[in-house]
Copies of this chain bind each other. A is one copy, B any other.
Amino acid sequence: MNKTKEKILTAASQLFLNGGLSALSVRAIAREANLSTIGIYSYFEGKQGILDALYIEGFEKVLAAIQVSIDLKNPRLGVLAAAKGYIKTAQLYRGHYRLIFGESDSGYKPSKLAQEAAKKAFIHITQVIATLLPEDANYESRREAALQIWALIHGFINLQHHAIADVIEPGAWEKMILDAVGLQIDALQSKYE
């Protein structure tokens, strides 16, 4: 990749990790990357381009986190391991997670390319979770099971990020989430037997 382009991206990533979305202004990125504001527009398509890059980065992190070896002998453990990785990534890259699942008040809409990155992660998640079901389960069932587990984990993480989250001590979330996922897995598996 272009050297300048890379410099801009690391500057943006830096600002984003430290101060969140509100710290990510075009001028601040340019200052951090030692060039003038117009540079952001010649190397990226303005702020939309920067956000797109971070959006894709976010889904890549998620994808990397659940890249567990799919164990067909014990799919339950495989899915739980993937869930653990997913949770950890959501905490480690909270800003990214907020960006890819947040509400984008500044009018940001992910580009075609960014949406494809999201879809790619979705497909992989579906595949991991599908190992829970018997081999002859059809596509709809797999997708539905995947959405169920994903929604559960994602919902927990989102509630954790919420203002009311302080009723739960921070360390207790992971166990709580994994317990719930375990329960859900058992219910799903007994349904398809």
- Chain A residues near B (Cβ < 8 Å): 20-22, 98-99, 101-107, 109-110, 115, 118-119, 122, 143-144, 147-148, 150-156, 158-159, 161-164, 167-168, 176, 179-180, 183-184, 186-188, 191
Contact = CB atoms under 8 A, between A and B. Distances in A.
Nearest to A187: B187
Contacts of A183: 148, 184, 187-188, 191
A61 B98 CA distance: 24
A103 B98 contact: yes
Contact of A154 (B21, B22, B158, B186): B158
A119 B98 CA distance: 22
B21 A176 contact: no
B105 A21 contact: yes
18 contacts: A21-B105, A106-B106, A110-B163, A115-B164, A118-B163, A122-B167, A147-B156, A148-B183, A151-B155, A151-B156, A152-B155, A152-B184, A155-B155, A155-B158, A183-B188, A183-B191, A184-B187, A186-B187
Chain A, interface SS category: helix
A143 B167 contact: yes
A8 to B, nearest CB: 20
Contacts of A168: 143, 147
Contacts of A122: 164, 167
Contact of A105 (B106, B161, B176): B106
Pick the most buried of A21, A103, A150: most chain B CB atoms within 10 A of its CB.
A103
Contacts of A153: 155
